[in-house]
Each structure stands twice: as C-alpha cells, then as structure tokens.
Amino acid sequence: MTWETVIGLEIHTQLATRSKIFSGSATTYGAAPNTQASLIDLGYPGVLPVLNAEVVRMAIRFGLATGCTIAPRSIFARKNYFYPDLPKGYQISQYELPIVHGGHLDIELADGARKRIGITRAHLEEDAGKSLHEDYHGMTGVDLNRAGTPLIEIVSEPDMRSAEEAVAYMRRIHQLVRWLGISDGNMQEGSFRCDANVSIRRQGEPKLGTRTEIKNLNSFRFVDRAIRFEVERQIEVLEDGGRVVQETRLYDPDADATRPMRSKEEANDYRYFPDPDLLPVVIEDALIEQLRSTLPELPEARRARLGTQFGLSDYDAGVLTASREVADYFEAVVASVPSAPKLAANWVMGELGGALNRDGLEIGASRIDAAALGGLVARIEDETISGKIAKEVFEAMWAGEGSADAIIEAKGLRQITDTGALEAIVDEVIAANPSQADELRAGKDKLLGFFVGQVMKRTQGKANPGQVNALIRARLK
C-alpha cells in the first residue's frame, strides 16, 4: 500500500506599507539596528497601538482576489510568549475572528492540470524583532526595527498532495500579492516566508495523519526540499512501526534535512485573548465595494485575455503574466507594433528575458523600454532587418547605443531585398562553387543551406533569407 502526502501552508507575507501596523515607525529594510523602533514597537508600558488603515485595505484586496469572505467585524488578540526580540511579551495577531476567510486559489501543475487549493483564512499580525548572533561573542544583539512590521498570514486548507503542489501554490500566492501591490514578496529580506505542515496517510484513509510543522522556509527550493525530506522521514518512521510526533521542525539546507526545534523555541500555550488596547475592526460594505472596483485584472483573467486577444499559446500567456510588470511591458510593446503580437511575445520572453536574467535585472529596470523594443520588432516585421541581425541591434540597444532605427542606419544593417543585387551575389557564389552547384542540381538538397550560408557570408547576414532561398532554387533546381 502506498502513502499519500498531505500538506497545508501558512504563508507570512509582509505588507508593503511605509509605516508599521500599530505605530508610525518606518518599515524600510536595512536601516541601522533600532533606528526604526518607537516606544510602541519597544513595548513600553502605557503606550497605545493605533491600527494602520492601509493594512486593512490591503488585507481586503487580498481577500477579494481569492474569493474570501471579508469579516464585517474582526478582532486583534494577544498571543503571549517570551522571547528576547519580543519585549512586550506578546505578539498582536488575530485568532478567532480573522479579517478574511473561506477563499481559494487555483494552481497549475507541470502536466497542465489545474487544481483548486482552499484558503482557510488570512489574518493580520505584527512581526517580532530580530535576534542577532553573528557579530556578538557570547552575547546576542536585539534589533527591533522589524518589530511591528505588518504581516498577513495566509493559511491554506490541507489540500496539497505533493511538494510540487505546495511550491506551485506558494508561487501563485507570491505572484498574487505582488500583482495586487500589497507586498514586494522579497524572500531574501524575509518579506515572504512559510511554515509547511506535513503529514502522510495510507492511500484511501479518510483521516488525516499526525503532522509536523516545518518553520520559516524562505525559498521555493527550501520548501520543496524540506517537504520531500520530511515525507521520506515520516514514511520511514511509520514503516518501522513507530509514530509521527506532532512537533515543529526546522529545515537545515546544509544537511538537507529537517530536525526538531529545541523545545525552548517552541511555545505551546499562547493564552490568546482579545487585545484590550485595540477596537474591533469594523468593515463597511462601501469600503469593500470601493476596493473591489479598483482591483486590477487578476493574473488568471489577464492570462486568458492575452491568449485570446493576441493569439498566444496558454504557455506564452502564462510566462507573460508572471508579474504585472511583465504583462504591462508586453502590452506596451504590442501597442507600438499592433500587427505582430506573437513576434513581440517572442522578443519579450526570449531576447529581453535573457538579457534581464544575465544582468540580474527586474523588468522595471530594463535597459530597453517597451516602446523602444516595439521599434525593433517593427523593423523585423516590415523586413527592414532579419531576426538574426535584430539580435545584433538588440545588443547595441541594450548597450545604450540608441534606437533600433538609429543603430540600423549607423551600422548599415538594412536588409538587402533588391532582387537584382541579390541575383548577382547568388551568381557569384554559384560560379565560385561549381561542383557543389552540380550536386544540388542533381538533387542533393542538403546543399541548399550551404549556398544560403555563402550568400549570407558575402552580405554580412544582410540578405533576406527567404528571398535568397527562392533565388538559389530558381537557378539550380
């Protein structure tokens, strides 16, 4: 009998507000320790938290985009535990009444199959501070810049059945929060991380197995590796006649293994109770409707539209909607060459994507803007240059040498389409290679490519390949 894997994720996403969830301190990443912590973040007695309204709007936008119910009334609760980076002794979170609940998101698997993953709830909370171990010998530093940073924790149903599904789901959430502009999703800076709950059960068994929770995974690869390891470990435990212990574990990338957290790092009884310093969050329908009306076209819908409007494959449309910035860029390219959407798509995904990758740039920092790339695609479309020469022009544009037209003129790259001129070159090439010409006449079609290549060489790649092909055929066949 085989085992079935069951996974539920709790994803912590930092909301992209300029100030913290309950204080006016800045949330900018990378400031000197404790320069962005106010009395509220430091947990001084007698100070009062005030909820940042933008955080609420962001949570509602997330809820609307995932088909969640927006709670008309939700409550902040205190989650009590002791840790040096939590001077208050409690974290403000939401417990019984989260701000949104009961939604879903569809994932796509490698074979193209779609699957709906349930979202149990998403609640607002503040982040804790950070303990610094590296620069201190025998001591620990505490940086409270991060304390009070707004988070939305997105809790899924235990609907995923493999590491692949879990990663696909995490990627979709990542795409969505960035798409909505509610988070920068920066995983290196800790703005997007997750806890993976993993259990196994016999195929066909209706009851869930005992789960373990792997804390604080901050890359897609680690989520994948950690789950794979944990599933294998649990199978081994059960097949050896043992029992899985419900516990929190950590993934160690160096060992590529999970291990139990020291019990000190675990807090089992948080004694949640409503925070008496904060009023219930009451959300009126008018606000929900206002936010609904300003929601952008969502990734799935945009993907479908790009596919039908521009005749792109579902795969291409998926790549072009990886982020809103890519989709906007693509549509701006098409706006400047409306007749060649497929060609525009190939250039955005191919040459541009490659150059961005090579230089480690986001599309927003592209050295070639959308209108300029459109200008290049237009010259391929109207056959001023071939696709091959276009790559040379692209590199020059990337290096900042100007527009496509300026580079084509300056370097004399215009395609030779003058039939008379091309005929003369074809004749030269035939005269220079008499034996190959005879073989081609005799039916050795492979040699066609040789002759096209010779003409291209003589014209530095500027001959129109289709035309050259036709001319050689006319002469030798």
Binding positions for ligand ADP, rule: CB under 6 A? 6-10, 155-158, 197-199, 208-209, 211, 213
Q: Which one-letter amino acid corresponds to residue 444? A: K
Pairing of strands 248-252, 212-217: parallel
Contact 53, 17 (CB under 8 A): no
Closest to ligand ADP by CB, 28 or 69: 69
Distance, in Å, from the CA atom of 60 to the CA atom of 78, rounded to the nearest integer, reads: 22
Provide the 10 A C-beta neighbour count for residue 384: 18
Residue 261: left if φ>0, alpha if ψ -120 to 50, beta else—which one?
A: beta
Q: Closest CB to ligand ADP among 246 and 290?
A: 246
Give 10 or 41: the residue with its C-beta nearer to ligand ADP.
Answer: 10
Q: Which residue is nearest to ligand ADP (CB)?
A: 8
Give the shortest CB-160-to-ligand ADP separation in angstroms.
8
Q: Minimum Å distance from CB 321 to ligand ADP?
A: 26
d(CA 271, CA 427): 90
Token duo for residue 144? 């409270």
Between 249 and 302, whose beta carbon lies closer to ligand ADP?
A: 249
Tracing tokens 């509610």 back to the chain, one arrives at 182
Residue with smaller CB distance to ligand ADP, 197 or 454: 197
CB of 120 to ligand ADP, least distance (A): 6
State in angstroms the smallest separation of the CB of 117 from ligand ADP. Answer: 10
- Based on CB atoms, which residue is closest to ligand ADP, 90 or 394? 90
Our CB check for ligand ADP shows the closer of 8 and 49 to be 8
Residue 357 CB, shortest distance to ligand ADP, in Å, is: 33
Which CB contacts under 8 angstroms, 24+ apart, belong to 391-398? 391/351, 394/347, 394/351, 394/355, 394/368, 397/367, 397/368, 397/372, 397/373, 398/355, 398/367, 398/368
CB of 212 to ligand ADP, least distance (A): 9
